[in-house]
Amino acid sequence: MLDAFVRKSVRRIFLTRTAEHQNNKNEDAITSMVFTPLRFMSAENAFVCLQSILPQLPTRAAGRSVSSINIELWPSVAVGDTRVEPDLRAEVGFMDSSSLVLIGEMKWESAITTEQIRRERETVKGKDAYIFAIVKSRGASTAGDLGCDALRTWTDVHRSVSQLRGTDLPVQNWAMLVSQFLQIAEQLVFSGFGEINIAEFSRFDQSAIFFVRQNWNGHFKRHFEFPAPEVMF
């Protein structure tokens, strides 16, 4: 699906609820595009990808070497008389026979709640667990407010993944596609402007200058508006 989105301009996952006449499936499609490839990687490579998404994860790993990873998307877990379905559950096994369970909740348009995090923490009660959420915007929320270990935005993820260097080819390919996907989805990291010739603007009488950046395959343009600079002669 990542190749289809990035290279073939597939956009069906971004149809609105009204267009599909059903619950919005964007979050599920996005979760799958980012995390499903990790299920087919070696444990070491999958953990490198997870660490790029969750920069504090190495601290929790405490230098332990990874021996196995079992990644599930939307597992149905019994909690008392009910069942809870986190977006992602990844059980990481280490060489010293210890383990760490990652529970992730991914949001695109909808908001995450403390009750949702509380229920998901119940699914790993008694285990060494790391609960995280990825959202479009934190707003006023913090990880502490929600009761999770990490709260990241998709822009944070884009920044971290785009900086992933010096890794095995499967990780590099994953990082490139996820970074391109998040760029097309407009979860952008500002990387600065190219060289700007201010003298060129002295010929125009204008109150604003527009800088236009087009992405690598021309799907959209980003516009940044700033006051015209005062040119000194």
Per residue, what are the HEC states of 79-105?
ECCEEECCCEEEEEEECCCCEEEEEEE
Mean pLDDT value of segment 41-52: 96
Pair (179, 216) in one structural domain: no
Pair (144, 212) in one structural domain: no
Q: How many domains does the chain have?
A: 2
Query: Using alpha carbons only, how large is the chain's radius of gyration in Å?
Result: 21
- Between CA 59 and CA 207 the distance in angstroms is 50
Pair (64, 143) in one structural domain: yes
- 86 occurs within a structural domain: yes
Average pLDDT of the chain to the nearest whole number? 79
Residue 86 near residue 123, CB atoms below 8 Å: yes
Which tokens belong to 145? 């407010």
Confidence band for 221, pLDDT divided at 50, 70 and 90: very low
Answer whether residue 190 shows pLDDT above 90.
no
End-to-end Cα distance, the chain: 54
- 80 occurs within a structural domain: yes
**3-state SS class at 219:** coil
Pair (148, 202) in one structural domain: no
Q: Give the pLDDT of residue 33.
A: 85
- 193 occurs within a structural domain: no
Answer whether residue 213 shows pLDDT above 70.
no
Pair (128, 179) in one structural domain: yes
Which tokens belong to 86? 């986190």
Confidence band for 223, pLDDT divided at 50, 70 and 90: very low
Give the tens place of pLDDT for each residue, 74-125.
Answer: 999 998 899 999 999 999 999 999 999 999 999 988 889 999 999 999 999 9
- 190 occurs within a structural domain: no
Pair (113, 204) in one structural domain: no
Residue numbers of the domain that contains 156: 2-184
Pair (180, 205) in one structural domain: no
* Whole-model pTM over 0.75: no
- 168 occurs within a structural domain: yes
Question: Among 26, 128, 157, 147, which Cα is nearest to 87's?
Answer: 26
- How many CB atoms sit inside 10 A of residue 211's CB? 12
Angle formed by the axes of helices 154-162 and 43-53, to 10°? Answer: 130
Q: Match 């002669």 to its residue by tokens.
A: 233
- 192 occurs within a structural domain: no
Question: Among 65, 57, 21, which Cα is nearest to 152's?
Answer: 57
Mean pLDDT value of segment 132-153: 94
Confidence band for 206, pLDDT divided at 50, 70 and 90: low
